[in-house]
Amino acid sequence: MPIKWVLHWQPHAGTSVNSQILNEVSQCVESINGVKEGRWKATLTFYKPMLRDQSLAGEFPRDFLGISVPEQPNKYYFVIRAQRIVMEADSSIQNIMEKLQSYKMRVALNFEGFQYQLGDFQLRVGKVVPTHSENLRGIVMEVEYLPISSIEKSRQIMEEFLQIWQEALSKRSLPGQFMHMEPNFTEYGLPEPYTSQHTAVQYATVMAQLIASVQSGQAVRN
């Protein structure tokens, strides 16, 4: 599948995300001739262990994530970042997890927004919100380059595109910027070419960044 970079909005110190920034970003995509194509949505669910003795919580993963991505509606992905594990499964795995009664959903977040076509690039801009809520927790952006599925071969063109994009966005003087933190896919046992498992790992990485930036924002305010 085509290479994709998932980016997250990193607010400047002392600022936070708001829907005005999201609007500006969307307008910016349209200003560089991005053609709006429709909506997209991914869902990230944090699971927590159901324990009889809470004092043993340290023995179980704290960052167990279940992810559904729009390009693979019949698949579901599990990621445990701390142990660099990613697993792809048929979506029926969610049913199995329910039956096992060993982990339950702690919180679920949606990445949702609009998709744009820009030549050979596909862009998705979206907000990060808890399911059943409009409480904005972050902004994400996906850049997909349709002709290439090799991570290494696409690196130069992706970097060049991002440079142009950051320049276009900088004219709006927004209080932050999009960051690309590429996970070490090899640690997850993910070789070339790019697959949806790579996307799941990127989502998990972005989620960790968002949590870290919310926590550091709180620390600044305190």
Partner 1 sequence: MECIVQGIIETQHVEALEILLQGLCGVHRERLRIHEICLKNSPNLGNVASEIRLLCDLEQTEPMWTVKHVGGAMRGAGAEQISVLVRTTVESKVSKNVLRLFYALGYKLDHELLRVGFAFHFLRGAQITVTVSSINKMLKLHATDEAVPVTPGIQVVEVTAPATSENYTEVAAAMSSFCEYLAPYLVIQLLWISERLDWLLHLSKPGVSTGVVATAAAAAASLMSDGGGTTL
Binding residues for partner 1, per CB under 8 A?
49-53, 56, 59-61, 64, 78, 80, 83, 85-93, 95-96, 99-103, 189, 197
CB 177 within 8 A of CB 39: no
Contact between residue 22 and residue 136 where contact means Cβ atoms under 8 Å apart: yes
Q: Smaller CB distance to partner 1: residue 57 or 107?
A: 57
Place of tokens 């949606």: 110
- Tell me the closest approach of the beta carbon of residue 41 to partner 1, in angstroms: 22
Q: How far is CA 216 from CA 12, 19, 52, 60, 181, in A?
A: 11, 20, 33, 25, 17
Cα 6 versus chain centre, distance: 6
Task: Write down the least CB distance from residue 30 to partner 1, Å.
Answer: 38
What tokens were used for 111?
């990445």
Structure tokens at 114: 């609009």
Nearer to partner 1, 99 or 171 (CB): 99
Query: Least distance from C-beta 197 to partner 1, angstroms?
Result: 7
Residue 137 CB, shortest distance to partner 1, in Å, is 26
At closest approach, how far in Å is the CB of 92 from partner 1?
A: 4
Instruction: Tell me whether residue 222 is exposed, middle or buried, using C-beta atoms within 10 angstroms of its C-beta: 0 to 12, 13 to 18, 19 or more.
Output: exposed
